[in-house]
């Protein structure tokens, strides 16, 4: 708890006021990633490998943008920084630990941007959501990665809708997930989607007690790779149950 509190406090002044309410979610993720490092290792490796494969045959490698860069554990940042002239990391919060690590690595071509990628505010204002529209203004864009972000958008939007009951359209979650996928597919450059698409709650005997579609019925693009991510191993949230997510990669 001391480490989490220190990280929260160190990140607070580095984060724009509109996004400070999300710091605790990022700190919680950092904490769980540390506790579950062994169980998450394969998922993180598969994610990095998918991104490497997607960028491998690009003829031009000028600017790459990573949407949902997070802790960078699932992003091959070393290869991206070496291969591209500029790498832009976009997320709601960039933890102080991530900033410190990037500084220690001495990357001169990595830029950080704080941004809400959900499109929620546009939809709330009665506009057609285009959450990735800003990418059109990124010069020399050759590669975009959506890194384990899409289901997080869905969960975050669902929480906001429940807190603001009656304010948003009933299909808000589905529309914003679809808007993200449409934004990726509409790009003129190569893109790579890595996303968990479903979860299951399984007891210690292997019986599945609950399943859900994390994309709320919105079909993902055809995948080139798929794997299981043990998000909460036995003992993390319960001694009797584990939570597994199905992850896909598409490019």
pLDDT, residue 160, reads 87
Alpha carbons 51 and 55: distance in angstroms, whole number: 6
**pLDDT tens digit sequence for 89-103:** 999 999 999 999 999
- Residue 205 inside a domain? The answer is no
What pTM, to 2 d.p., does this model score? 0.95
**Residue 249 domain flag:** no
In a domain, 250, yes or no: no
Query: The CATH number of the domain where 108 resides is what?
Result: 3.40.50
CA distance 205 to 221: 33
Cα(124)–Cα(128) distance, integer angstroms: 9
Residue 12 resides in a domain: yes
- Tokens for 175, please give them: 């529309």
- Whether 169 is covered by a domain: the verdict is yes
Residue 199, domain member (yes or no)? no
Q: What is the pLDDT of residues 165-193, one digit of tens each?
A: 778 998 999 999 999 999 999 999 999 99
- Contact between 96 and 176 (Cβ < 8 Å): no
> What is the pLDDT at residue 201?
98
Question: Shortest CA distance to 121 belongs to which of 245, 19, 7, 9?
Answer: 19
In a domain, 108, yes or no: yes
**pLDDT of amino acid 212:** 96
pLDDT for 11 equals: 98
Residue at 27 is within a domain: yes
**Structural domain range at position 10:** 2-189
DSSP single-letter state for residue 186: T
Number of domains into which the chain is organized: 1
Residues of the chain with pLDDT below 70 are: none
């Amino acid at each position: 708890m001391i480490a989490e509190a220190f990280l929260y406090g160190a990140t607070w002044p580095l984060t724009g006021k509109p996004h400070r309410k999300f710091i605790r979610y990022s700190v919680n993720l950092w904490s769980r990633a540390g506790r579950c490092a062994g169980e998450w290792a394969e998922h993180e490796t598969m994610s990095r490998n998918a991104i490497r494969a997607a960028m491998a045959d690009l003829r031009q490698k000028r600017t790459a943008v990573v949407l949902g860069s997070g802790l960078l554990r699932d992003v091959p940042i070393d290869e991206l920084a070496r291969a591209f002239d500029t790498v832009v990391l976009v997320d709601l919060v960039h933890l102080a630990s991530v900033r410190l690590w990037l500084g220690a690595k001495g990357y001169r071509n990595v830029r950080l941007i704080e941004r809400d990628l959900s499109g929620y505010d546009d939809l709330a204002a009665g506009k057609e959501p285009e959450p990735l529209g800003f990418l059109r203004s990124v010069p020399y864009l050759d590669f975009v990665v959506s890194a384990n972000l899409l289901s997080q958008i869905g969960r975050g939007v669902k929480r906001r809708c429940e807190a603001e009951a009656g304010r948003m359209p009933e299909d808000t979650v589905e529309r914003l997930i679809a808007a993200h996928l449409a934004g990726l597919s509409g790009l003129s450059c190569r893109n790579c989607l890595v996303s968990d698409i479903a979860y299951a709650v399984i007891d210690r005997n292997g019986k599945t007690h609950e399943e859900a579609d994390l994309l709320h019925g919105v079909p993902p693009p055809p995948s080139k790779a798929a794997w299981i991510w043990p998000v909460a191993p036995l003992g993390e949230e319960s001694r009797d149950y584990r939570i597994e997510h199905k992850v896909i990669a598409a490019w």
